[in-house]
Amino acid sequence: MNFKQRLATLIDFPVKDEREIENLLMEIEDPKMGDFALPCFKFAKELRKSPVVIANEFAKTVKKDEIVEKVEAVNGYLNFFLNREKVGEIVLGEIKTADNYGKSNIGNGKTICIDYSSINIAKPFHIGHLGTTAIGNSLKRIYTELGFKIVGINHLGDWGTQFGKLIVAYKLWGNTVDIDGGGLKELQKIYVRFHVEAEKNPALEEEAREWFAKIEQGNREALKLFEYFKKITLDEVKKVYDRLDVKFDSWDGESFFNDKMQPLLKELRQKKVTEISDGAEIIDLSAYDMPPCLLVKKDGASLYATRDMAAAVYRKKTYDFYKCLYVVALQQNLYFRQLFKALEIAGYDWAKDMVHVAYGMVSLEEGSMSTRKGNTVWLTDVLDKAVEKALNTINEKSPDKENKEQIAEEVGVGAVVFSALCNNRMKDIVFSFDRVLNFDGETSPYIQYTHARCCSVLEKAEETKTQKPDYSVFNNEESVVLLKLLNIFPEKISEAGEKYEPSIIANYLIDVAQAFNKYYFENRILGDDNDKQAARLMLVRSTKDVIAKGLYLLGIKAPQKM
């Protein structure tokens, strides 16, 4: 229920409509002062009365409603006290009777393309990919919940001179036995060695360019090695995606758009959108205070923007998207502004529907990374370490727990994912194992433990046979705070979608977990008469369901036991 909307209908205000009143109503933090307040200061000029007088007058004329216990005027505010028994009945009734609480049809089947994760072939799947992968996966789930059709795209980095470098490195220092055995880390090892040796022998760079040219020309040996490197990479990274429960609908990478660039360039030239500058073909963006969008270099080679423009046109034709999101680091902000403006200048009116969902950097406390230098932090190593630490904690607290390894996997992986989602996505994150795996802090393990606690209560409860739960048991602060939080879950999902911000769900779950644990310690749930126990168990079950759904929307498992 939208309590603000309902309260707004009770106020017969001469100069404001119900929607304006609804927007002015605010939630009161201290339950002793009420549940919602209407500040009357903004009405003083129109009514030519003091806010105190206005609040006192309207306290006497508010229409009666079963959800309102009483109304008080306090220092220019109109404070509403909700009938807690009725709130419990309404909120828990909606959660219980809804087929899928929080689900909506806001999207009405419209398509959203989400370009996220987008790993590079033959390069590490490292901690820096955590942000785009976690945010993109969460947004995919959130928009699905809101009724959109989602196309999750892993735009593979599978083109460029690095493949020429890798071929040279492989032919000089690699072999199939080592690569098959060592996988992506072995490819990375010879790639790093190439850059070390190239500093002493620059001729290697030219040899690498020649091999990449052979890939472009369709040379059989070059393509065979290229596909080999691609298979090694995808076989390994898909294992990581499986652990993260991340799935894609398209793996079309840069190479997929090679044959789509020339038709695009031909169209742009016909529209007289491009021009030649210092031998390069560009779209001039000086009128928008931006550097030019480079499409073709002097030597005729294409650039990222050429492929990305071709990819955008392809996605619009193929999926007819309502929006196309790019979950890419904040450092690429200028590039996406250039790309979107170039598409707009080219006459694509749907360019306005493209969104750069920027996020801050993720790093470890140990410091920065560099693929070329080899000091890369592999994401699989981070996951393994988090799971190991989670298992150690479980062994210390519950050595006889069944399925410890599975629980540790869900807790450890969940903690890593949550670390990328719990803050505003624009914020840089320094990853700390001790912080993210804290079972008592504002963390994923804390939320998961709360879910497991709910499951434990429900498991211990004997079946209660009652047709009429006694909602009077919710006449206390702990209950009403938790009920009001559960009530706004659908709003939080919508807000997260509107703002491209999974942290809204993450922080909401922290609030729910804290509210439930306070309720749990202050109230006796089991052992009362059937009607009272039935009502309390409804609250526990509803809390469990909301936490489980919220964790799912973040891409995190909800263990039943911990």
The confidence score (pLDDT) of residue 366 equals: 63
List pLDDT tens digits, range 412-468: 999 999 999 999 999 988 877 777 777 778 899 999 999 999 999 999 886 656 668
The confidence score (pLDDT) of residue 372 equals: 47
For the sheet containing 77-82, what is the strand order? 26-27, 36-39, 77-82, 68-74
| CA angle, 378 then 384 then 388, to 5° | 150
The confidence score (pLDDT) of residue 437 equals: 78
Tell me how far apart the alpha carbons of residues 135 and 130 are, in angstroms, rounded to a whole number: 8
User: 391 CB contacts (<8 Å, ≥6 apart)?
Assistant: 404, 405, 408, 412
Positions of the chain with pLDDT lower than 70, given as ranges: 14-16, 98, 365-375, 462-467
List pLDDT tens digits, range 286-340: 999 999 999 998 877 778 899 999 999 999 999 999 999 999 999 999 999 999 9
Where are the chain's structural domains? 3-82, 162-247
The confidence score (pLDDT) of residue 217 equals: 86
The confidence score (pLDDT) of residue 58 equals: 86
The confidence score (pLDDT) of residue 323 equals: 98
The confidence score (pLDDT) of residue 227 equals: 92
DSSP codes joined into one string, 307-330: HHHHHHHHHHHHH--SEEEEEEEG
Do residues 78 and 40 touch, judged by C-beta distance below 8 A? yes
Tell me how far apart the alpha carbons of residues 209 and 223 are, in angstroms, rounded to a whole number: 14
CA distances in angstroms from 462 to 496, 527, 541, listed in the order given: 38, 9, 14
CATH-assigned architecture of domain 3-82 = 2-Layer Sandwich (3.30)
Secondary structure percentages of the chain, helix, strand, coil, to 5:
60, 10, 30
User: 127 CB contacts (<8 Å, ≥6 apart)?
Assistant: 362, 363, 364, 369, 377, 378, 379, 382, 431
Element (H, E) at 296: strand 293-296
The confidence score (pLDDT) of residue 3 equals: 92
CA distances in angstroms from 56 to 50, 53, 70, listed in the order given: 10, 5, 13
User: 524 CB contacts (<8 Å, ≥6 apart)?
Assistant: none
The confidence score (pLDDT) of residue 16 equals: 65
